[in-house]
C-alpha cells in the first residue's frame, strides 16, 4: 500500500510543481490532494522518495521538487495519455484543413504544436527515399527564364528559377515539359539523376534541356535532404532561469539544423508511440536541462519525426497528447 501511496505522492508533487514552479510541501499535498493520510505520513513518504532520488529539497526548510529520475518514473507510470479537449481537436482540424502542400502543412503544424504546448516545436520533413515524381511543371516567366516546379507523390513541392541560356517559345517549352514528364513521372527521387539522360530534345533546344535537367536534378536532391522547421524559440527563452547555463548552447543549437536532426534521430522511433527523453537521457549535453517529447509520423516510405522541446518542468500528459494527436493527423493527410 505504501508504494502505491508514494507513487500518488510523487505524481502530486510533479503536477503541483509543474503548475506553480514552487517547491511542494507536505501540508500543501494534504490540503489539495485526497491522499487519506496525515502530513506526518506524507513527510515520511517524501523522505522515502528523496532517498530513492525521485525528489529533492532545493534548500533547507523548503518543499520538494521532482528530479529528472522522478519525472521519468512519473512518465513511465502514466496510466494513459491525457486526451485533448474538444476545442484542441477542433483547432488541429481547422489549422490543418484544406488542400496543403508539404511545406505549408509543416509550417502550420509546427506553429500549431508550439501553440498547444507553449514549448519549442520541431517537425522534420518526411524522408523521401521512396517518394516518386508526380509532375514537372515549367512556367514561362521572361524570355530565357522559367520556373521549374517539381511535385512528388507525397505532396512535396520544390521549385527553382532556371536561366535557359536561350529564348524558348511557348510550344517548345510545352514540348520540353512533356518530354521531362514522360521520362520522369513515377521515377523515385533517388533515381532521377540517372533517368534524366533519357530525356531528349531537338538540337536547337539543347541548352534549355541541359539547364532544366540540372535544375530538376538539384530539386530531386533537395527532396531527399533532411530538413526541419521549428517554432516557439521564444517560449524557451522565457524559461531561461530553469535552463541555467545551457540556454546559450540551446539557442545556438537551433541555428544548426544538423544538431537538431541528431537529437530527433536519437529518439525512439516506433509507429504510433510517443517517446520522452528527460534531462541527462538526451544524447547531447547541451540538452541536459530539457525534455523532448517525440513521435514519428507519415506513411510508408515518407516517415519522419516531430517533437516538442522544453524545460524538464513540463506538462508531460498534455504535451504527449498533443504530439500524438498532431502526428496522427498529419499522417492521415499524407496518406490521402
Cα three-residue angle 246-250-251, rounded to 5 degrees:
125
In a domain, 182, yes or no: yes
In a domain, 138, yes or no: yes
Neighbours of 88 (CB within 10 A): 17
102-129 tens-digit pLDDT: 788 889 999 999 999 999 999 988 765 5
166-194 tens-digit pLDDT: 999 999 999 999 999 999 999 988 888 88
**pLDDT at 1 (0 to 100):** 45
Closest CA to 125 of 163, 154, 150, 86: 154
**3-state class (DSSP) for residue 57:** coil
Residue given cell 513541392 in the structure block? 157
Q: Say which CATH number the domain at 69 has.
A: 1.10.10.10
Last residue of a domain, one of 224, 244, 262: 224
Query: Is the same domain home to 69 and 118?
Result: no
In the structure, how many helices (H) and strands (E) does the chain have? Answer: 14, 10
CA atoms within 13 A on the CB side of 210: 7
In this model, does residue 240 exceed pLDDT 70?
A: no
Angle of helix 39-51 versus helix 2-20 axis, rounded to 10: 90
Query: How many domains does one find in the chain?
Result: 3
Q: Say which CATH number the domain at 269 has.
A: 3.30.450.40
Q: How far is CA 284 from CA 68, 105, 250, 264, in A?
A: 16, 29, 10, 11
Element (H, E) at 148: strand 145-152
* Cα distance between residue 286 and residue 307, in whole Å: 17
Last residue of a domain, one of 224, 248, 272: 224
48-95 tens-digit pLDDT: 999 999 999 887 777 899 999 999 999 988 867 777 888 888 888 888
* Cα distance between residue 305 and residue 269, in whole Å: 8
C-alpha of 72 from chain center: 21
- Give the global pTM: 0.71
Query: Is the same domain home to 145 and 176?
Result: yes
Query: Is the same domain home to 122 and 97?
Result: yes
Query: Is the same domain home to 108 and 234?
Result: yes
In this model, does residue 19 exceed pLDDT 60?
A: yes
In a domain, 81, yes or no: no
| Residue 6 near residue 303 (C-beta atoms within 8 A) | no
Query: Is the same domain home to 186 and 315?
Result: no
Query: Is the same domain home to 123 and 13?
Result: no
Q: How far is CA 253 from CA 232, 236, 263, 272, 284, in A?
A: 14, 12, 10, 28, 10
User: DSSP assignment, residue 313?
Assistant: S
Query: Is the same domain home to 331 and 243?
Result: yes
Closest CA to 221 of 104, 107, 128, 106: 128
**3-state class (DSSP) for residue 134:** strand
Domain that holds residue 157: 133-224
Last residue of a domain, one of 224, 242, 273: 224
Amino acid at each position: 500500500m505504501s508504494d502505491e501511496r508514494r507513487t500518488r505522492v510523487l505524481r502530486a508533487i510533479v503536477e503541483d510543481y509543474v503548475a506553480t514552479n514552487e517547491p511542494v510541501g507536505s501540508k500543501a499535498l494534504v490540503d489539495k490532494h485526497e491522499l487519506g493520510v496525515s502530513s506526518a505520513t506524507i513527510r515520511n513518504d517524501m523522505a522515502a522518495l528523496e532517498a530513492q532520488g525521485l525528489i529533492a529539497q532545493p534548500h533547507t526548510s523548503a518543499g520538494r521538487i521532482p528530479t529528472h529520475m522522478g519525472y521519468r518514473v512519473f512518465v513511465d507510470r502514466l496510466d494513459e495519455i491525457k486526451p485533448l479537449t474538444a476545442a484542441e481537436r477542433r483547432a488541429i482540424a481547422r489549422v490543418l484543413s484544406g488542400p496543403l502542400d508539404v511545406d505549408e502543412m509543416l509550417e502550420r503544424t509546427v506553429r500549431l504544436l508550439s501553440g498547444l504546448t507553449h514549448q519549442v516545436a520541431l517537425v522534420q520533413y518526411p524522408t523521401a527515399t521512396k517518394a516518386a515524381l508526380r509532375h514537372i511543371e515549367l512556367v514561362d516567366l521572361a524570355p530565357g527564364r522559367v520556373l521549374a516546379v517539381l511535385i512528388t507523390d507525397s505532396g512535396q513541392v520544390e521549385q527553382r528559377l532556371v536561366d535557359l541560356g536561350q529564348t524558348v517559345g511557348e510550344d517548345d517549352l510545352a514540348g520540353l515539359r512533356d518530354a521531362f514528364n514522360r521520362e520522369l513521372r513515377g521515377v523515385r527521387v533517388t533515381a532521377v539523376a540517372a533517368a534524366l539522360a533519357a530525356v531528349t530534345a531537338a538540337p536547337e533546344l539543347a541548352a534549355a534541356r541541359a539547364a532544366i535537367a540540372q535544375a530538376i536534378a538539384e530539386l530531386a536532391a533537395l527532396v531527399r535532404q533532411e530538413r526541419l522547421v521549428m517554432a516557439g524559440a521564444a517560449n524557451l527563452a522565457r524559461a531561461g532561469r530553469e535552463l541555467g547555463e545551457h540556454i546559450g548552447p540551446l539557442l545556438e543549437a537551433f541555428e544548426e539544423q544538423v544538431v537538431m536532426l541528431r537529437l530527433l534521430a536519437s529518439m525512439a522511433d516506433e509507429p504510433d508511440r510517443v517517446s520522452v527523453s528527460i534531462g541527462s537521457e538526451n544524447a547531447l549535453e547541451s540538452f541536459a536541462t530539457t525534455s523532448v517529447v517525440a513521435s514519428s509520423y507519415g506513411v510508408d516510405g515518407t516517415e519522419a519525426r516531430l517533437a516538442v522541446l522544453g524545460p524538464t518542468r513540463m506538462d508531460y500528459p498534455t504535451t504527449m497528447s498533443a504530439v500524438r494527436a498532431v502526428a496522427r493527423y498529419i499522417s492521415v493527410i499524407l496518406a490521402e
